[in-house]
Amino acid sequence: MLAKLGAMDVYRNEDLPRGCAHFEASVDLPAIPEEAFALICAVEKWPVWLPLVRSAERRGSGSLAVGDEILLRLGEPRDEEQLFEVRRIVGNHCLTLVGAYSTRRRIDFRLERQSSRARLRMAWLYPTYHGAMGSAVDRLLRGRTVASLLERAAQQFRGLLEASLVA
């Protein structure tokens, strides 16, 4: 079941950079965290289940590790590619990406073990400009879209994971 999280479920107030739009979604998964985390770390599959990402390319080889760079094209086709860096990775639990040129741009995936199941929590942060007024305008113009795309991503991730478990 998809549940919209409270504003500070993944991040506490003091963890959030100033001037950021912040959205979260979560979904219960029919798999243990190891299987789900392997799918999260398959960066090249992100455009399949994460509608906020148009293309994803990992720079490097081997297992995903702190410091690895990931080139993402977000949103509209005319948007430029943005470089992200793996800031934190905790096996079968947490993956955090931070923008290489803006630390206020973050993507966070966290898995919580629930016996033989797991819950995925995703957070998406990006900078807003022009103070409180700019944040309010951004929330009105883009906020609903980003929130609904993140919720859809949670459902699509679950579907992709279920399909891989059946195959």
Domain 22-166 has CATH 3.30.530.20: yes
Contact indicator for 101, 83 with CB cutoff of 8 Å: yes
pLDDT at site 43: 94
Residue 45's contacts (CB-CB under 8 Å, 6 or more residues apart) are 39, 160
Phi, psi of 107 (to 5 degrees): -130, 130
* Nearest residue to 36 via CA among 166, 167, 160: 160
- The angle at the Cα of 85, spanning 82 to 87, to the nearest 5 degrees, equals 145
Which residues, 6 or more positions from 73, have their beta carbon under 8 angstroms from its beta carbon? 53, 54, 55, 56, 79, 80, 81, 82
The answer to whether 57 touches 70, Cβ cutoff 8 Å, is: yes
DSSP 42: -
Residue linked to tokens 């793996």 = 86
**pLDDT for residue 42:** 94
Of 167 and 153, the structure prediction assigns the larger pLDDT to 153
At a CB cut-off of 8 Å and minimum separation 6, what does 105 contact?
Answer: 82, 84, 98, 99, 125, 126, 127
Domain definitions of the chain by residue range:
22-166
pLDDT in tens, 12-29: 545 666 677 788 999 999
Higher local confidence (pLDDT), 119 or 166: 119
Provide the residue type at 141 as one letter.
Answer: L
Mean pLDDT of the region 154-165: 90
Q: So what's the pLDDT on residue 18?
A: 66
Q: Is the pLDDT of residue 32 over 90?
A: no
Please tell me the predicted confidence (pLDDT) of residue 143.
77
